[in-house]
Structures are given as structure tokens and as C-alpha cells.
Structure 1
């Protein structure tokens, strides 16, 4: 016959065994390390990381391209157009101040019909003298106008030099193609303005020279007319004149 305390110990062991089986079922999973699968996962992750890096680099390149485009489209902060226009207007104003006979085709045609043509055979001696004085005043005024234009152009040299320095500096520090092109265009505009000044000087000087040559030619014609009148006066007889009497 089994002792009661032995029976109680057996029951206790059975209960412990039961609960241990319930807490750790026989179907529990066991973690297994697979080297081949691990390597494949590492390669996949590396490829994905490389793709991400490529996308980042592509975005960086696009950002740089947009930055360069913005620089190429940026306008030059310096503009000398207003200054060049003011200089040209000054020279044009001097040319517009031409006295008596301006740079006008109609005025020139009228002047050469009335003042610089052949001496009139019907005009009085006082009229011939008045016409000669008009021609002389025209020549003097034309030379004065020429000197004024030359003085104005010389005065433009200083401002043109300052403009050229500014444009050259802006061209050298241009950040994009548009700025460089605009600086170059403004330098060409400056050269055009300087050529305009040169044309103005040549035109003013040529006008003065032409009027003076016309005055000389008209004076010769007037002299011939005055001699004709003198030689055909009533009672005049041409004769030899002895300037020095012999001993």
C-alpha cells in the first residue's frame, strides 16, 4: 500500500509536467540561419541604395542646370543707353544750331539760287555788295558752327571713356551668356555713338569748307560783273598807263 505523502508528490509532479507542456507546445518554431538568402538580401539592399544615390545625383545635376540657366538668363545690371542717347542728343543739338544755311536741302538750293549763283546783271552795285557781305557772314558762321561741334565732341571723350571702363568691367564680371552679350551690345552702341560724333565733325567741317569755296567762286563771278560794268561805262576809254617815268 502506497503512503499518502508519496501519492501527493506524484500528483504534484504530474501537475508541473502538464503546465510545462502547455507553456512550451511541441509545435514552437525554431530560427534557422540561411547564408544564401542573407547574401541575396544584402545585394538587393545595395542595389536599392545605389538607385537612391543615382536619383540624388540626377536631382543635383538638374538643380545645377537650372542654376546655370538662371545665370545665363540674368540681365546685365548696368545700362548705359540713357547716357549714350544724351550724348547723341547734345551733338545733334549743336548741328541743329547751324546758322544762316542749315543742313537742309531746300535751304541750300535756295541759297545757291539767290546768293551763290552767278552775279546778276540787273542788280545794283549796292545789291552786289550786300550779297557779298551775306556770303561772308555765312562763311564766318559756318566756321563758328564747325568749331562748336568739334568742342562738343571733344567734351564727349571724357564721358565716353568712363562708359567704356564701366562696360568693360561689367563684361569681365558677367555671370552668364546674356550678361556678356548685353555688355558687348552696349560696347557696340558706344562705338556707334563715337562714329556719330565723328560724322558730325566731318559734316560741320565740310559745310564750312563748302560755303567758303562757294563764297570765293561767287566773289569771282561778282568781280567779273563789276569789271564789265566799269569797262562799259559811258566815256571810259581804255589806254596804256605808264607807272614810272624815265629819266
Structure 2
């Protein structure tokens, strides 16, 4: 670097030592243009460029925010990738099928009224012992069938516990990993549907258990009424009339 500076100084000294007669060759024409540096104008241009750059950056940031907002909206509108509706419907259908298999007296208000009046009403004042025995046998069969129906429904509901547990685990996992509001809401709705299905199973168990208890209580009451009627018929018969009895032939 020192040698370079010394070389520049030597060239400058040689140029200054040239005769003045050579100056016309070194002078520039009168029509040549000079570059003028204006510090004020340069500063204004720099400030203007800086402001425009800032506006561009602001617009870029605004577009970025809008894009992120659209992405968030898309996540909020995304549907849950799973559904347990068909599974819950199958479980409810199994319980309903067991209820429709109710023996002798089904879960029908009109049939219950008709059967109760004819089978569990007041004991008839007339009729043979065979008729009374047949009515008692029918009531006994109704009670036994009702207890069997109750056991079937209870077994079916217990079998649904495993299926419901699997569905609940899947829905809770989907709710916790939901990417948006819609997925979380749908997972919550399906959890409520699962809870409703479990409540319906509980109602079914209580219904068949109550039916069995009611039929047994009705059978007991009807048996007491029949016993009272049979005793009344027996007590109103005519008294004993003595008569001759032949014990051995010829004597």
C-alpha cells in the first residue's frame, strides 16, 4: 500500500511538471457536462425510498397475517376425520331388538291393558278348577318370561360397555388433538351422543326390571284373589249328607 501511494505521488508530480503548452490538449471541451452532487436532494430521495420500502414491508406483513387468518379459518372449519354415529346406532338397535323380544306381554300400552284385565283382574266367581289353574299357569309363565327378558337385556347392556369404552377413548383422543373449533365441537357432540346411548341402555334395564317386578307382584295379588274366591266357592257348598255305603258285596 505504501508503494502504491508513492507511485500515485510520482504520477501527480510528473503531470504537474508538464509545460503549459500541453494544457490545451488536456482541457475538456466547453460543451462537456459536469455531474453535480446535491446532498439535500440525495437525502430526500433516500428518505422517500425508505418510506416506500417500509410500506412494502407493511403490505407484506398484512398479506402474511391475512394468509394466516385464512389458514386458521380453514382449520376451524375442518370436519372431524372420524365418526362413531353408526357404532352408536348399532348399539341402540341391539338393545331395542332385545326389548321387542319381550315374551307374552310386550311393551305396548294397549296390549298391557287388555292382558292385565283378562289375566290379572278379579278372579271369576264361576268356572271349573281347570280354568282357574290355567289362568294361574299363564300368570306364572308371564313372570318367568319377564325375568328372562330382564336378564337378556342386562346381558346386552353389559356387552355394550366394551364397545362404548372404545368409542369414548377414540372421541377423547380426537377432541384433544382437534386442529380447530369445528373438530372440537363435533367430538364433544359425539361424546354427548355416547352419553345419551348409555342413558338409553340404563332406561332399558330399569324398564325390563320394573316390568318383571310388576308382573310378579300382579301374579301374587291375582293368586291371593283367586285363593279367596276358591275358598268362598268351597265354603258355600251344601253340607255333608250321610248315606248307606256297601263295603263288601253280598253282606
> Aligned partners of 1:186, 1:209: CA distance in 2, in Å?
35
1:52-67 counterparts in 2 under 5 A? 52-67=56-71
CA distance in 2, matches of 1:175, 1:141: 52
Shift of 1:124: 2.0
Count how many residue pairs are aligned between Structure 1 and Structure 2.
217
- Residue aligning to 2:200: 196
**Shift in Å, 1:28:** 2.7
In the TM superposition, residue 25 of structure 1 has moved relative to its aligned partner by 5.0
Q: Equivalent residue for 2:16?
A: none
TM-superposed CA distance for 1:89, in Å, is 0.3
| 1:24-78 CA-partner distances (Å, limit 9, x unpaired) | 6533321111111101100000000000000000000000000000000000001
Partners of 1:113 and 1:188 lie apart in 2 by 41
Q: What are the within-5 Å matches in structure 2 for residues 153-232 of structure 1?
A: 153-232=157-236
| CA root-mean-square deviation | 1.6
Q: Provide, for residues 106-147 of structure 1, a one-character-per-residue CA deviation record: whole Å limited to 9, x for no partner.
A: 111111111000001122221111000000000000000000
Q: Does 1:86 align with 2:86?
A: no
Q: Does 1:123 align with 2:121?
A: no
Query: Unaligned regions of 5+ residues in structure 2, if any?
Result: 1-23, 242-251
Q: Distance in 2 between matches of 1:95 and 1:156?
A: 15
SS at match of 1:122: coil
TM-score normalised by structure 1 residue count: 0.85
Offset at residue 236 of structure 1 (A)? 4.9
1:30-109 equivalent positions in 2, closer than 5 A: 30-109=34-113
Q: Distance in 2 between matches of 1:109 and 1:38?
A: 104
Q: For 2:95 and 2:107, how far apart are their aligned partners in 1?
A: 14
Q: C-alpha offsets along residues 126-178 of structure 1, whole Å, 9 cap, x if unaligned?
A: 11110000000000000000000000000000111111100010001000000
Secondary structure of the equivalent of 2:73? helix
Q: Does 1:147 align with 2:151?
A: yes
